[in-house]
Structure 1
Amino acid sequence: MKLDYEHEVTVPEMLEARDHRVEMQRDLIAEFHHPVICFMLNIPGPHKVGEDFEKAFRYGVESIDEILHKHRMKKDVEKEEAFVTGYIYYASVDADAIDIKKAMCEIEERDRIGRIFDIDVLRTDGSKVSREEFGMGPRKCLMCELEAHICARNRTHTVSSMVEEIHRIIKESFAG
């Protein structure tokens, strides 16, 4: 099924997508009894899918595969979904949740495109592993060096400027 790249996602659609993700995560934890990775792109605004975003998502999935292999972490299963609300990757991983999160932070921190990756790791009780649990500070804003949650709360940057920067980062990441 081809996604409508022009579709403007509504708040109810985003809430429904979040509920679906939580259900998928719970199902994977219940079936495999291991931590779960949930990867998406952090894209502000009403447009969550498109060629650039799909390319970045593919790169993110490949990066997760590579880093899990590097750290000898075995996947029980992986699943991908694509909706107008965005691209989602899930993996149940037979490893310690904090070790998985540390590995995922390597991806988020190694290059600029990692700044748009949102890689959550959930323990078997469903709680998320926080970067702060192992001494990593909060993520930095895409536009400046402040903590991302501060800029988000204060709406420091416009949605259009952030989306423009995201497209620039993706293009630069795949140039050459």
Structure 2
Amino acid sequence: MKDLFATGTPQTIAAVLQSKDHRARRQQELVTKFPTGTVVALKLNVPGPIKTNAALQRLFTAGQRLLERQFQGVTRLQAPVVTTGLAGTEAFYVFAIDGWEAKRRAVAFEDQLPLGRLFDADVLTQAQTHYSRQELGEQARRCFLCDRPAKECGRNRTHSVAELQDYFNRVYAEVFGDD
């Protein structure tokens, strides 16, 4: 099985936090530029210090196509903006759709197939900066490995980075075969 984390430049916590700040600024810029639109920001939840390389980029692109299928038929207010840095790849979409409907579609994407579970698809509008699963009546995101709430496992460091990376490797093999 391919080891997705055998190559790449390890990132520091500071670099990952800087990327998070950049993502928040980009989301706010888009919400301001498109006050009637709904922003959907897509990123992989990559465990460990390696956040990008050719294999992870390939996985991201496959997930991006899956997300786009969830929003098929919805008007895009601009072409998706895709950025790749050492802390990973992100895609930003602006759709002409109600925020709650966008969140329902994002949850369906995140919950379908093992591939979608590797991603976060955040939804924002000018009127509301956070749409939660719970407000939709959905349960919290589940852990890849044990099906407990993902935030609980992350906060408690229930699983090792190696276990989480192994899950990514298995999903990659399922999506692309063992190439």
TM-score relative to the length of structure 1: 0.91
Report deviation, 1:86: 0.4
For the residue of structure 2 that corresponds to 1:112, the secondary structure is helix
Please give the alpha-carbon distance, in whole angstroms, between the structure 2 residues aligned to 1:45 and 1:147: 19
Partner of residue 158, structure 1: 160
Please give the alpha-carbon distance, in whole angstroms, between the structure 2 residues aligned to 1:111 and 1:89: 20
AA aligned opposite 1:118: D
CA contact (8 A) 1:52 1:167 kept: no
AA aligned opposite 1:132: Q
Partner of residue 68, structure 2: 65
Report deviation, 1:125: 3.9
Report deviation, 1:126: 5.5
Please give the alpha-carbon distance, in whole angstroms, between the structure 1 residues aligned to 2:17 and 2:150: 21
Partner of residue 42, structure 2: 39
Partner of residue 138, structure 1: 140
AA aligned opposite 1:20: H
Report deviation, 1:15: 1.6
Please give the alpha-carbon distance, in whole angstroms, between the structure 2 residues aligned to 1:126 and 1:19: 19
CA contact (8 A) 2:66 2:116 kept: no
AA aligned opposite 2:43: M
Please give the alpha-carbon distance, in whole angstroms, between the structure 2 residues aligned to 1:145 and 1:21: 28
TM-score relative to the length of structure 2: 0.90
AA aligned opposite 2:134: E
CA contact (8 A) 1:81 1:89 kept: yes
AA aligned opposite 1:175: G
Report deviation, 1:120: 0.5
Partner of residue 24, structure 1: 26
CA contact (8 A) 1:123 1:129 kept: no
Report deviation, 1:149: 1.0
Report deviation, 1:51: 2.5
- Deviation per residue, 1:101-137 (Å, 9 max, x gap): 1011111112011111111111214612111111110
After TM superposition, what 4+ stretches of structure 1 lie above 3 angstroms from structure 2?
none
Of residues 19-28 and 60-69 in structure 1, the stretch that sits farther from structure 2 once superposed is 60-69
Please give the alpha-carbon distance, in whole angstroms, between the structure 2 residues aligned to 1:124 and 1:93: 13
Q: Which runs of 5+ in 1 are unaligned?
A: none
Please give the alpha-carbon distance, in whole angstroms, between the structure 2 residues aligned to 1:123 and 1:14: 24
Q: Does 2:56 align with 1:53?
A: yes
AA aligned opposite 1:120: D
CA contact (8 A) 2:39 2:125 kept: yes
AA aligned opposite 1:109: D
AA aligned opposite 2:173: K
- Deviation per residue, 1:80-108 (Å, 9 max, x gap): 00001000000111110110010111111
Please give the alpha-carbon distance, in whole angstroms, between the structure 2 residues aligned to 1:12 and 1:169: 28
**Considering only aligned residues, what root-mean-square deviation do their CA atoms show, in Å?**
1.4
AA aligned opposite 2:65: E
CA contact (8 A) 1:14 1:85 kept: yes
